[in-house]
Amino acid sequence: MSTPYNAMELMICCAARLLEDGRTAAVGTGVPCAAAMLAQRTHAPHLVMLFEAGGIAPQLPTMPISVGDSRSFHRAVMATSMADIMETCQRGLVDYTFLGGAQIDPYGNLNSTLIGGDYVHPKVRLPGSGGANDLASLCWRIFVVTNHDRRRFVEKLDFLTTPGYLTGPGAREQAGLPPGTGPYRVITDLAVMSYDDETKRMQVHSLHPGVTLAQVRAATGFELGVREPLAVTEPPTPGELRILREEVDPHRYVIGRC
């Protein structure tokens, strides 16, 4: 009998398992931070966290509230500048990054700039790129962790803030982005998505326990392929849940969000 868990705990576990030991991850607050902390406490003790404001390899006492607050470099090996972090990415030394957005399209492009209207009079003005465009341009593998619904998974973005595979195969390289970089996984409350090697379009990689392919497709505003054989996501183990609940997020800042 497995321990009951919620969708947020499952998403964090999915992300954590994909982070290999001895790698570097540019993380933000919330889910990415929880995933990296869980990975460090399980299979990847030498995973290095970087925060865009300048924190390198912190030992977090608790979840930071901001990627620039003092917790983001607590017992770190270095407190440096944003340019230093981003240039570490630009040199090819940063393996993973985690991003989100109000909209994502079939190629993993993200919108965090505006919804509706036009550029001068948007219906909703959102923050903009922040560091997202930089990290998605410069890190090797991009993870997106988000809730799964048709408002978010759209055929066409209102604004392409942050690059995924742009218009498809070869487009990142054509634009001048570093070869070999790009979207890797999208982890939602319903499934894990990867990208087809040929078309660079998003495809279902594994369905979460109890979720059907029809459900995932109904929550997606574009045609979603399937990677065969379609797997079922491994549920969180009791050990993962214990670490997540007792050590990583005892105040349930992140895992309590659902």
Partner 1 sequence: MNILSQGEGALFSDPSADRARQFFVEKPRALTDKVMTVTEAVHRFIHDDDYFASGGFGCARIPTAVLHEILRQGPKRLSFAGHTATHDFQILCAGNGLGRGPTLAAVDIAYIVGLEARGLSAHARRVMESGEVACTEWTNYTLAVRFKAAAMGVPFLPARSMLGTDTFRHSAARVVACPFTGEKVALLPALYPDVAAIHVHEADRYGNCRIRGTTVADLDLARAARRLIITCERLIPGDDIRQDPSRTVIPFFCVDAVCEVPFGSYPGNMPYEYFSDEDHLRQWLAAEKDVTTFGAFLETHIYGVGDFADYLQRCGGLSRLQELRRHEFLLHRGM
Token pair of 44 as six digits: 């990847």
Residue 137 or 220 with smaller CB distance to partner 1: 137
Give first-to-last CA distance, the chain, whole Å: 23
Q: 176-204 burial string, b = 16+ CB within 10 Å, else e?
A: ebbeebbbbbbbbbbbbbbbeeeebbbbb
**What is the C-alpha separation between 145 and 143, in angstroms, rounded?**
7
Choose the binding region for partner 1 from 17-25, 157-165, 195-203, 241-249 (rule: CB under 8 A). Answer: 157-165
Active-site hit among 9, 52, 87, 198: 52
Indicate the residue among 2 and 174 with the shorter CB distance to partner 1: 174
Binding mask of the shown chain, residues 100 to 139, with x at each position contacting partner 1 by CB under 8 A: ---------x---x---x-xxxxxxxxxxxxxxxx--xx-
Q: Please confirm, yes or no, whether 52 is among the known catalytic residues.
A: yes
For partner 1, what does the binding mask look like between residues 53 and 72, x meaning CB under 8 A?
xxx-----xx--xxxxxxxx
When asked if residue 23 is in the footprint of partner 1 (CB under 8 A), the reply is no
Distance (Å) of CA 128 to CA 17, 142, 242: 30, 18, 36
Taking alpha carbons only, the member of 184, 215, 235 closest to residue 14 is: 235
Per-residue burial over 124-150, b if 16 or more Cβ lie within 10 Å, else e, is: eebeeeebbbbbbbbbbbbbbbbbbee
Q: Say whether residue 74 binds partner 1 (CB under 8 A).
A: yes
* Residue of 1, 4, 75, 246 that binds partner 1 (CB under 8 A): 75
* Binds partner 1 (CB under 8 A): choice among 18, 79, 154, 213: 79
What are the structure tokens assigned to 129, written together? 């790129």
Give the nearer residue to partner 1 in terms of CB position, either 89 or 192: 89
Is 212 one of the binding residues for partner 1 (CB under 8 A)? no
Site residues (vs partner 1, CB under 8 A): 29-30, 51-55, 61-62, 65-75, 79-83, 86, 90, 109, 113, 117, 119-134, 137-138, 159-163, 166, 171-172, 174-178
Active site residues: 52
